[in-house]
Amino acid sequence: MVSEHAAAQILVASNRGPVTYALEENGELSAKRGGGGLVSGLSAIGDSDGDTALWVCAALGDGDREAVRRGVGEPGVRMLDIDPRVHADAYNGIANSVLWFVHHMLYQTPLEPAFGPEFRAQWASYEAYNRAFAEALAQSAGADAAVLVQDYHLALVPGMLRELRPDLRIGHFSHTPWAPVDYFRMLPDDVAEQLLRGILGADRAAFLTGRWADAFTECCVRVLGGTSGTRIGVHGLGADADFLRERSRRADVEERLVALREQIGGSGDRKVIVRVDRTELSKNIVRGLLAYRELLESHPEWRERVVHVAFAYPSRQDLAVYRDYTAEVQRLADEINSAYGVEGWTPVVLHVKDDFARSLAAYRLADVALVNPIRDGMNLVAKEVPVVSDEGCVLVLSREAGAYEELGEDAVVVNPYDVMGTATALHTALTMPQEERAERTKRLAAAATALPPSQWFLDQLRALRA
Ligand code: F6P
């Protein structure tokens, strides 16, 4: 419940909105609603308080643009039809190819980044795209509205909006890690300054963990001399226990369970190592497969007794580096299967088509969950698995995931670059006694659900208004 305030307007701004439209062959538009923390957080705004909410997002594809043109829309959602080239440069060029790489430390630095004229042209688009958001928000916001700006796509919005509308309460939330200062300073100085000043235009800048908040503060101190009075907050988004428990027991999940068990094979006594990720460079799927191969090599007793169920769902396929990475995941899985597989045992079961019900089924039957990102803002898979697990699941967790701060104690922790160490961790996890595994899972589930999405959202709102 939001309380102690007069009814007010709340605006959320993010690149990807809660709904997306597809243009069907018959010319009609079909809407698909997204899930995620923000969506359930926003639905927590109580009507009883009289608050109203508006979500401002970008039109992402042709369907969305057509919806804007036809004036089709969900109540409470305003889609911005930004020039597709400007959007592509801002989203693919800057947000995903530069800012994502900086915050997740993904560059192969002998050759990249090289900030030349192409970068400068894309940066101009990033500014224009941020300005389009700031202007739309300034126009839509009533007096004293609270505006919650999301993520690295919109880092310049708080500063721009502050200039247009000094009366607003502005918050910025980073869903990614924040880069260490020496890495952040690879960016051209003026760009680094602009990004920091942009976020500092907010009354409050918030992060998923203390580690990312501290990194941001240090960047501000070293680059600008301080945080200019902007308050810094931490809100560790948790899993939505009620939703997950109910959803993971529905018939479609049961069906997927049966199908998965068939693919795993054996007579029900094979152990299962599960991973579920978007195929994201930062998720470290390739080293995960290398570690699994090493497990089969150094512990041959696991052959035919374990299966690695890996779901690697498509992400950002406009970028060649993502397509290449996806191909490498597929190639390596095939290589492991042809090197070790035998009649009746496929060592790696890889699925690349997004299927939420099947992900939940995999969570339920996993003996081990492998979450080994190079770097990750939080990683909700690590938080979801213990909540829905049927019989307890050992979490092998990278110390570079934000979730490590809350879950590290009851996980088997790995350095994501250490393939041998990860193989050893998988062996430790597979051999953990059932009782210990069940107890750890209980504690993991409690820690994972400490801050449900609705509370996470309302806490931010309350802190912003304080
Ligand atoms: O997971 C971090 C995050 O920044 C989310 O907040 C955001 O939804 C997502 O990444 C962006 O992904 P996409 O490029 O697919 O919209």
Q: Is 248 in the pocket of ligand 1 (CB under 6 A)?
A: no
CB 173, CB 202: distance < 8 Å:
no
Give CA–CA dist 19/76, Å, rounded: 11
Ligand 1 centroid from CA 340, angstroms: 36
What is the CATH code of the structural domain delimited by 241-448?
3.40.50.2000
Q: Which residues contact 289 (CB under 8 A, 6 or more apart)?
A: 308, 310, 329, 332, 333, 336, 348
Q: Ligand 1 atom 16: the closest Cα is on which residue?
A: 16
Q: Is 315 in the pocket of ligand 1 (CB under 6 A)?
A: yes
pTM comes to 0.96
Q: Is 316 in the pocket of ligand 1 (CB under 6 A)?
A: yes
Residues 150-186: tens digit of each pLDDT: 999 999 999 999 999 999 999 999 999 999 999 999 9
Give CA–CA dist 422/236, Å, rounded: 26
Q: Are strands 368-371 and 394-398 parallel, antiparallel or unpaired?
A: parallel
Q: Is 377 in the pocket of ligand 1 (CB under 6 A)?
A: yes
CA angle 185, 190, 193 (to 5 degrees): 70
Q: Is 376 in the pocket of ligand 1 (CB under 6 A)?
A: no
Segments of the chain assigned to CATH 3.40.50.2000: 8-82+128-237+454-465, 241-448
Give yes or no for residue 1 having a pLDDT over 60.
no
Residues 21-72: tens digit of each pLDDT: 999 999 999 999 877 667 777 777 754 467 789 999 999 999 999 999 999 9
CATH class of the domain whose range is 8-82+128-237+454-465: alpha beta
Residues 429-441: tens digit of each pLDDT: 999 999 999 999 9
User: What is the best residue among 175, 317, 321, 379 to mutate for testing ligand 1's pocket, by most ligand atoms within 8 Å of CB?
Assistant: 175
CB 227, CB 200: distance < 8 Å:
yes
Ligand 1 centroid from CA 439, angstroms: 32
